[in-house]
Amino acid sequence: MSAAVVFGAGGGVGGALADHLAASGRYTPVYVGARRPLPPGPHQIPFVYDLTDEDSIFKAASDIETPPALVLVASGMLHDKSRSITPEKTLRAIQPEAMARLFSVNTIGPALIAKHMLRKFPRDRPAVFAVLSARVGSIGDNRLGGWHGYRASKAALNMLIVNFAIEMRRTHPLAVVVALHPGTVESGLSEPFHAGVKPWKLFSPDTAATHLLDVIDRLVPDDSGGFFAWDGTRLPW
C-alpha cells in the first residue's frame, strides 16, 4: 500500500480530493493537512502545517512514514479580507505586501512542500506530485490581464513545476510532477467572482475532484513538467 498526501485538505477542492482518495481505498493512509487540525476520517490521518512556516512543512513531511504515491497541493489564495487583499484590476492597485503574501502562499509554500516531499518519493515506482495552479497563471493564455499578484504567483509556480520535473527526471524517472487547473469551482476562493460564471461552468468541489483524479490517473512519466486542465487538455505555460 502507498500513501496519498493532501496539503490544503481544509479547502473546497482539497477537502473533496481527500474524501475521494480515502473512499477509493487505493491509498492507505491518506494524510490530510490544514492550518487547523481536521477531524480524523476513515483512512485519513490529519496533520497541521502552514505554507508560510517551513518548519511546519518539514515536520509534516518527517511524520509521514509510508512512501507517498500521490502528493497533492490543493492550497492557495486569491483574496484575503483580513489582510485587505483583493485581486488588482489595475497597475495602480498593486500593493507590495499583498503581492508578497500571494507569492508566499501560492508559490513559495508549494515549493517548500516539494523540497521536503519529493525526496520521499520512491525511485522504483510511479508517483505523482500535482499542484493546483490556475489557467489565469498561463502566460501564453493571458488575454484579459488584471489579477496581477495571483496570476504572477501562479505563473511562477508553473515555472517551478517545470524545474522540479527536470530535476526529478534525473533521479526518479517514474515520477510525474505537474500543475493542474481545476476549472472554476464553488469555494471560498472563487465565491466573490461567481456572478459572471455560467452555471454549467461552475463545478462543485466534488465534481472538480472527480475530474482532477481522472486526469491524474491518466498521467505517465512523459507528462512530467506539464500543465493540465480539468478535462485533461494540456495548457500553455
The residues of the shown chain that bind ligand NAP, judged by CB under 6 A, are 8, 10-14, 34-36, 50-52, 74-77, 105, 132, 134, 181-182, 184-185, 187-190
- Which grid cell is 167? 530535476
101 versus 172: smaller Cβ distance to ligand NAP: 101
CB of 65 to ligand NAP, least distance (A): 22
What is the closest distance, in whole angstroms, from the C-beta atom of residue 191 to ligand NAP in the complex?
A: 9
Q: Give me the least distance between CB of 205 and ligand NAP, in Å please.
A: 7
Whole-number Å distance between alpha carbons of 134 and 93: 21
CB of 20 to ligand NAP, least distance (A): 14
Q: Which is nearer to ligand NAP, 77 or 175 (CB)?
A: 77
Q: CB-based contacts of 33: which residues, under 8 Å, 6+ apart? A: 5, 6, 7, 8, 9, 46, 47, 48, 49, 60
Q: How far is the CB of 84 from ligand NAP (least distance, A)?
A: 16
Q: Which is nearer to ligand NAP, 51 or 177 (by Cβ)?
A: 51
Closest approach of Cβ 122 to ligand NAP, in Å? 26
Distance CA 235, CA 227 (A): 5
| Closest approach of ligand NAP to the CB of residue 100, in Å | 13
Please say which residue, 172 or 181, places its beta carbon nearer to ligand NAP: 181
Of residues 118 and 179, the one with the C-beta less far from ligand NAP: 179
Residue with Cβ nearer ligand NAP (74 or 118): 74
Q: Judged by CB, which is closer to ligand NAP: 34, or 168? A: 34
Q: Can you give the chain as a three-state secondary structure string? A: CEEEEEECCCCHHHHHHHHHHHHHCCEEEEEEEECCCCCCCCCEEEEECCCCCHHHHHHHHHHCCCCEEEEEECCCCCCEHHHCECCCCCHHHCCHHHHHHHHHHHHHHHHHHHHHHHHHCCCCCCEEEEEECCHHHCCCCCCCCCCHHHHHHHHHHHHHHHHHHHHHHHHCCCEEEEEEECCEECCCCCHHHCCCCCHHHEECHHHHHHHHHHHHHCCCHHHCCCEEECCCCECCC
